[in-house]
């Protein structure tokens, strides 16, 4: 039986090579479609940002030399020149004049400082607004202090100069990154190819949400749940459901790696059929193809599968990967893919109970996928007090769902792997390591935040 840490390492070793594959491929997407994507190459700025000297304040653009002798006892009075507002063309400032300038507006050529409107006399613009762009002819403004060159001037290129690095390769594109890309005038960017994952849920009993259930059937929660979790890690997801028949599982995977159209999948994730029962379809289908099925000393989620499945041309033939109306053999056979050679694909297999599947994803797959996507791999973690006594199997690393109460202590829920409603209302995962069989209230435990 593997430990939790040993299986974590095994998953990393299997999937880390996918990073090179993703890094080698790039696609060009519109900036509007680039949120959350990872930049494939260094991006150089095609222009200065800002593109021209502009004002940091509402005030008067001046030549500092014209105010060098200004003081309260000897104020300097300057005629008011044309106004520079946002979007105006740049003009020349005549020596010995002061031009009203608005925040973000171009600094007139020849001006080298801005005096805030609040410290000018009068401390308000003269005659501007109400449809009037410039102060009346003959208007004068008074200054009672000198001004330093460059004060409240944002020089062209002071954020980034043309040709400088705008964003390095590997940057994850969030709102600020998309903003600076757009400010530089770019409409498209080259981003890393996203991981393409086949999510295969298995079981005769599964039916799509919204469909009528016969006795013994259940609505499929795993597909929606894990597809969302995978997409949250940046993956593109293709989902399928297979009945409890090994040939249907193999056929679904073959279609994923030999699609009739589109890109082949990079990774297969399955749920169900991995334990020690008599009808463990995933184990029966994939163990002969190279996937290893083992027990991990965790609860829930002890049965796990991991490895590289190698499918030959004959493995593409089989039953359709879709739920059956009953447990008879009325499904149509899937078409063979037409491939002439063997193809290998990494496979990660989780148990079918929803809580087991999602805990397994959190422990083993989420950190790897987020690392590949350039995201922070780990959940926010803390050590918090228990609100009450807990017991745990000493030979298992138990992961319990819990909430943080008003005093900052952790209330731990029941351990059963079918309690998906309790998971949906939890805010933390509580870790009770191997060797712990009981903890009293007030003990410190490791928790992962799952409410962010």
| Residue where a domain stops, chosen among 372, 397, 414 | 372
DSSP 321: S
Same domain (yes/no): 15, 106: no
Same domain (yes/no): 205, 278: yes
CATH number for position 388: 2.40.340.10
In a domain, 180, yes or no: no
89-92 contacts, C-beta under 8 A, 24 or more apart: 90/52
Q: Point out which residues pair with 55 in neighbouring strands.
A: 153
Helices (H) and strands (E) in the chain, counts: 9, 29
In a domain, 435, yes or no: yes
- Judged against a pLDDT cut of 50, whether residue 327 lies above it is answered with no
- Mean per-residue pLDDT over the chain, rounded: 92
Q: What does pTM read for this prediction? A: 0.79
Same domain (yes/no): 368, 385: no
Mean pLDDT of 395-405: 96
In a domain, 41, yes or no: no
In a domain, 34, yes or no: no
**Calpha distance 235→193 (Å, rounded):** 9
Q: Residues 172-220: pLDDT tens digits?
A: 999 999 999 999 999 999 999 899 999 999 999 999 999 999 999 999 9
Determine the longest span between alpha carbons in the chain, in angstroms: 102
Residue pair 198/309 in contact by the 8 Å Cβ criterion: no
**Calpha distance 352→417 (Å, rounded):** 10
Residue 260's pLDDT is 83
Mean pLDDT of 49-77: 97
Residue 277's pLDDT is 77
Same domain (yes/no): 217, 352: yes
Question: Pairing between strand 267-271 and 303-311?
Answer: unpaired
Residue pair 170/241 in contact by the 8 Å Cβ criterion: no
| Structural domains of the chain, count | 3
DSSP 108: P
Q: How many CA atoms lie within 13 A of 424 on its CB side?
A: 7
Residue 427's pLDDT is 96
Same domain (yes/no): 368, 395: no
Residue 329's pLDDT is 37
| Residue where a domain stops, chosen among 321, 343, 372 | 372
**Calpha distance 185→182 (Å, rounded):** 5
Residue 156's pLDDT is 97
Residue pair 77/59 in contact by the 8 Å Cβ criterion: no
Residue pair 81/219 in contact by the 8 Å Cβ criterion: no
Same domain (yes/no): 333, 199: yes
In a domain, 184, yes or no: no
CATH number for position 360: 3.40.980.10
Q: Residues 278-314: pLDDT tens digits?
A: 779 999 999 999 999 999 999 999 999 999 999 876 6
Residue 201's pLDDT is 97
Q: Which domain holds residue 87?
A: 52-155
Residue 35's pLDDT is 94
Residue pair 305/361 in contact by the 8 Å Cβ criterion: no
What are the CA-CA distances from residue 202 to residues 103, 240, 275, 285, 323 (Å)?
A: 61, 9, 13, 11, 9
In a domain, 149, yes or no: yes
Strands of 322-413, DSSP E: 333-334, 343-350, 381-385, 390-391, 397-404, 410-412
Q: Residues 215-254: pLDDT tens digits?
A: 999 999 999 999 999 999 999 999 999 999 999 999 999 9
Same domain (yes/no): 366, 391: no
Cβ atoms < 10 Å from Cβ of 421: 10
**Calpha distance 400→181 (Å, rounded):** 43
Residue 314's pLDDT is 64
Same domain (yes/no): 266, 340: yes
Same domain (yes/no): 236, 93: no
User: Going by C-beta distance under 8 Å and a sequence separation of 6 or more, which residues neighbour residue 261?
Assistant: none
- Judged against a pLDDT cut of 60, whether residue 317 lies above it is answered with no
Label residue 22 by pLDDT band (50, 70, 90). Answer: confident
The dihedral over CA atoms of 30, 33, 37, 41, expressed in degrees to the nearest 10, equals 0
| Residue where a domain stops, chosen among 130, 155, 180 | 155
CATH number for position 114: 2.170.190.11
């Amino acid at each position: 039986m593997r430990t939790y840490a040993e299986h974590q390492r095994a998953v990393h070793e299997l999937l880390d090579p996918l990073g090179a594959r993703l890094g080698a491929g790039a696609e060009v997407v519109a900036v509007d479609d680039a949120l959350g994507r990872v930049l494939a190459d260094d991006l150089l700025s095609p222009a200065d940002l800002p593109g021209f000297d502009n004002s940091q304040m509402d005030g008067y653009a001046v030549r500092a030399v014209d105010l060098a002798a200004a003081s309260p006892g000897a104020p300097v009075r300057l005629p008011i020149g044309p106004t520079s507002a946002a979007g105006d063309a740049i003009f020349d400032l005549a020596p010995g004049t002061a031009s009203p300038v608005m925040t973000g507006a171009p600094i007139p050529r020849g001006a080298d400082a801005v005096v805030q409107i609040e410290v000018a006399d009068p401390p308000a613009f003269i005659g501007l607004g109400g449809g009037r762009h410039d102060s009346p002819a003959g208007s004068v403004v008074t200054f009672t202090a000198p001004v330093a060159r460059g004060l409240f001037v944002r020089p062209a290129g002071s954020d980034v100069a043309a040709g400088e690095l705008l964003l390095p390769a590997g940057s994850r594109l969030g709102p600020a990154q998309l903003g600076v890309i757009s400010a530089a005038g770019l409409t498209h960017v080259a981003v890393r190819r996203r991981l393409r994952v086949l999510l295969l849920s298995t079981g005769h009993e599964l039916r799509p949400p919204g469909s009528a259930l016969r006795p013994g059937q259940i609505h499929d929660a795993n597909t929606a749940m894990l597809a969302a979790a995978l997409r949250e890690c940046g993956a593109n997801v293709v989902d399928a459901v297979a009945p409890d028949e090994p040939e249907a599982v193999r056929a679904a995977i073959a279609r994923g790696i030999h699609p009739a159209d589109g890109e082949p999948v990079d990774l297969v994730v399955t749920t169900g059929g991995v334990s020690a029962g008599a009808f463990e379809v995933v184990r029966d289908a994939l163990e002969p193809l190279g996937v290893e099925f083992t027990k991990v000393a965790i609860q829930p989620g002890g049965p796990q599968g991991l490895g590289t499945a190698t499918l030959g041309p004959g493995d593409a033939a089989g039953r359709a990967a879709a739920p059956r109306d009953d447990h008879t053999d009325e499904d149509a056979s899937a078409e063979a893919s037409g491939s002439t050679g063997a193809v290998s694909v990494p496979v990660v297999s989780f148990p079918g109970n929803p809580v087991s599947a999602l805990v397994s994803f959190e422990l083993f797959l989420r950190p790897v996928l987020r690392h590949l996507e350039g995201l922070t791999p780990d959940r926010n973690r803390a050590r918090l007090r228990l609100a009450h006594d807990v017991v745990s199997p000493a030979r298992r690393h138990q992961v319990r769902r819990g909430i943080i109460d008003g005093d900052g202590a952790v209330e731990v829920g029941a351990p059963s792997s079918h309690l998906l409603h309790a998971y949906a209302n939890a805010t933390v995962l509580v870790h009770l390591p191997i060797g712990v069989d009981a903890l009293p209230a007030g003990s410190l435990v490791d928790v992962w935040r799952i409410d962010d």
